[in-house]
Chain A
Amino acid sequence: MTQRRVAVTGGGVVSPLGQSLEDFHRSLIAARSGVRPLPAEVAQGSGVQVGALVDWDAAAHFKDSEAANLDRVAQFALVAAGQAVSAAGLAVDDPTRVGVYWGTGLGGSHTLEASYRQIYGKGEWRTRPLTVVMAMSNAAGAAVALRHGLRGPFANFATACSSSAMALGEAARLIASGRADAMVAGGSEALLTPATLLAWQSLRTLAPADPADASASSKPFDKRRAGLVLGEGAAAFVLEDEARARARGARIHALLTGYGNTCDAAHMSRPDRDGQVRAMREALREARLEPQAIGYINAHGTATAVGDVVEAEAINVAFGGAAKEIPVSSTKSMHGHLLGGAGALEFAAALLALEQGILPPTAFLEQPDPACALRHVALRAERVAPPRAVMSNSFAFGGSNVVLIAERAG
């Protein structure tokens, strides 16, 4: 069977680094960090000091009556997806041939937490009737489908930190196989709520505030790294059958040609090199690319002690000798870890390298850890000849590994 190729024809972003794809890219180029001290009303008693919040004004996007019935995670999704659909100029002639694949780790945390606060906190055994449909993990993607009338395939992927990368990869396969002509795919997360922050804090995996500069608290691959910084936001893309996109004269940002998906089945939270290597190799194999064709890797790079080392080793194993030459960065140094939204947002970061030849950096990487032997893009963005292809890694609790490869449309 001849597989169709999958074009990326539009993108949208709601992030701690700006609320459009263009603003997000500008922040990455400037190596600006969106990490900051968490306001007291967000952190409360959790002990979490820093996070990467979206500077969100729901009233700018929704009527009060709409916003009240949409969890923050769905609001982010609707705005990012709306930008992507509009940027792509997506025309839906047959809505049954266009669907939504979304990714979110937790779903409507704000809604759930408000409900529990009322029940357990205040001892009032009452909760909003919309609690179920606002908190369910498929609510954000369903809101996108509803808004745009997309009646084709739908799924919500909840594989923690690989959720939205998986949504993109699976959506691409759906189009390649002919089951859909276009898909809105991406993910969102909004779980910076006191109780969820406390749960993360209890894992002892979050970075404290950098005493000199709170915005520099996320330091992937650096000897001084102290853990991850949680973020929130959304990123969405319109993926489309390449022939269809060309026929309608759409601007093609990239082709999504490689998708690797593996499970470690080794440990619930500790990453496994072999699982990551297999995912990178699978993506390369699907894209029919030699390792040298990859001109930039957006690493998962969460800035945990173990995770960064395992990923660096995995890249070296998967790419062999070519690894020395391939620029790598973790943009989580600037936008924090969007968890379920991370894969899609970082795919957006990788597209900056692919389309413009601007490699976003690992900000604050002043003292690279020798155990993370990579060709780092450190501190500042680098300008290169636009590479043929780029890779984005997303590795998750539960052992899920997802790798995406985008190629220039050429």
Chain B
Amino acid sequence: MDTLARIKQLAAKEFSLEPEKLDPKAPLDTLGIDSLSFIEFMFKIEEEFGVAVSDEDLKGIKTLGDLERRVAASLAAAGKT
């Protein structure tokens, strides 16, 4: 499964949403994901992918697509892809 599909699956479970309704380009708040919920979700993303996302990088994540790119970059940097 690719990174975006895994993220979508985790997000669907975390927020009780249908995976197909998770538009990777949609701003997180339009998906009903507020900042507190997202920080909690990030914690699980870090565990799942074995990456660490800095506070600075976190600020740049506005959509699930942003999240995918950030995770992919971290995995690449760690030589995990």
Q: Which of the segments B1-9, B11-19, B20-28, B60-68 contacts the partner chain?
A: B11-19
In the complex, whether A57 has a CB less than 8 A from a CB of chain B is no
Closest chain-A Cβ to B20's Cβ sits at a distance in Å of: 17
The smallest C-beta distance from A138 to any residue of chain B, in angstroms, reads 16
Quick check: is A249 within 8 A (CB to CB) of the other chain?
no
Interface of B is mostly: helix
From residue A357, how far is it (CB to closest CB) to chain B in Å?
A: 46
Q: Give every chain A residue within 8 A of B14 (Cβ-Cβ).
A: 65, 68
**In the assembled complex, B36 has its CB within 8 A of some CB on chain A:** yes
Shortest Cβ distance from B15 into A: residue: A65
Nearest-neighbor residue (CB-CB) of B47 within chain A: A126
Once the chains bind, are A130 and B13 in contact (CB under 8 Å)?
no
Question: Once bound together, how far apart are the Cα atoms of A353 and B9, in whole Å?
Answer: 53
CA distance A198 to B11 in the complex (A): 37
Would you call B13 and A128 a contact (CB within 8 A)?
no
Shortest C-beta distance, B9 to chain A (Å), equals 13
Q: Fill in one digit per residue for A114-131: 1 if any B CB lies within 8 Å of its CB, else 0.
A: 000000000000101110
The answer to whether A69 and B13 have CB atoms under 8 Å apart is: no
Residue ID in chain B nearest A130 by CB atoms: B40
> Is A213 close to B, CB under 8 A?
no
* Number of A positions contacting B (CB below 8 A): 11
Question: Do the beta carbons of B15 and A129 come within 8 Å of each other?
Answer: no
Q: How far is the CB of B63 from chain A (nearest CB, A)?
A: 20
Across the interface, B36 reaches (CB within 8 A) one of A64, A65, A126, A130, namely A130
Inter-chain CA distance A126–B43, complex, in Å, is 9
Name the interface residues of A36-79: CB closer than 8 Å to any CB of B: 63-66, 68-69
* A 126-143 binary contact with B (CB < 8 Å = 1; else 0): 101110010000000000
State how many angstroms separate the Cβ of B40 from the closest Cβ of chain A.
5
Instruction: Report how far A64 CA is from B13 CA in the complex, Å.
Output: 8
Decide: A65 and B40 in contact? CB cutoff 8 A: no
Q: How far is the CA of A83 from the CA of B37 in the complex (A)?
A: 27
- Report whether B40 and A128 are in contact in the complex, using a CB–CB cutoff of 8 Å: yes
Determine which residue in B39, B40, B42 has the highest number of CB atoms from chain A within 10 A of its CB, and name it.
B40
Residue of A nearest to B12 (CB): A65
B residues within 8 A CB of A130? 36, 40
Cross-chain contact A69 with B16 (CB below 8 angstroms): no
Assess the B16–A63 pair: CB atoms within 8 A: yes
Q: Once the chains bind, are B16 and A65 in contact (CB under 8 Å)? A: yes
Let me know if B16 and A128 touch, CB within 8 A.
no
Q: How far is the CA of A106 from the CA of B42 in the complex (A)?
A: 28
- Tell me which of A64, A126, A129, A133 contacts B16 (CB under 8 A): A64
CB closest chain-A residue, reference B39: A129
**Cα distance A81–B16 when bound, in Å?**
24
Q: When the two chains form their complex, are residues A133 and B36 in contact, meaning their CB atoms are under 8 A apart?
A: yes
A65 to chain B minimum Cβ distance, whole angstroms, is 4
Complex CA distance for A68 and B42, rounded to whole angstroms: 15
| B13: A residues at CB distance < 8 A | 64-65
Tell me the complex Cα distance, A128–B14, Å: 14
> Using Cβ atoms and an 8 Å threshold, which residues of chain A touch B37?
69
Residue of A with least CB distance to B16: A65
Chain A contacts for B16, CB-based, 8 A = 63-66
* Minimum CB–CB distance for B44 against chain A, Å: 9
CB distance from A377 to the nearest CB of B (A): 47
Residues of A within 8 A of B40 (CB): 69, 128-130
Name A68's closest neighbour in chain B (CB-CB).
B14
- Interface positions of B from 26 to 65, Cβ below 8 Å from A: 36-37, 39-40, 42-43
Shortest Cβ gap from B68 to chain A (Å)? 20
Alpha-carbon separation in the docked complex, A150 to B14 (Å):
26
Q: Which residue of B lies closest to A134 (CB)?
A: B40
A residues near B, CB below 8 A? Answer: 63-66, 68-69, 126, 128-130, 133
What 15 new A-B contacts, CB under 8 Å, besides A65-B15, A68-B14, A129-B43? A63-B16, A64-B13, A64-B16, A65-B13, A65-B14, A65-B16, A66-B16, A69-B37, A69-B40, A129-B36, A129-B39, A129-B42, A130-B36, A130-B40, A133-B36
Query: Residues on B close to A: CB < 8 A?
Result: 13-16, 36-37, 39-40, 42-43
Q: List 7 A-B contacts (CB under 8 A).
A: A68-B14, A128-B43, A129-B39, A129-B40, A129-B42, A130-B36, A130-B40
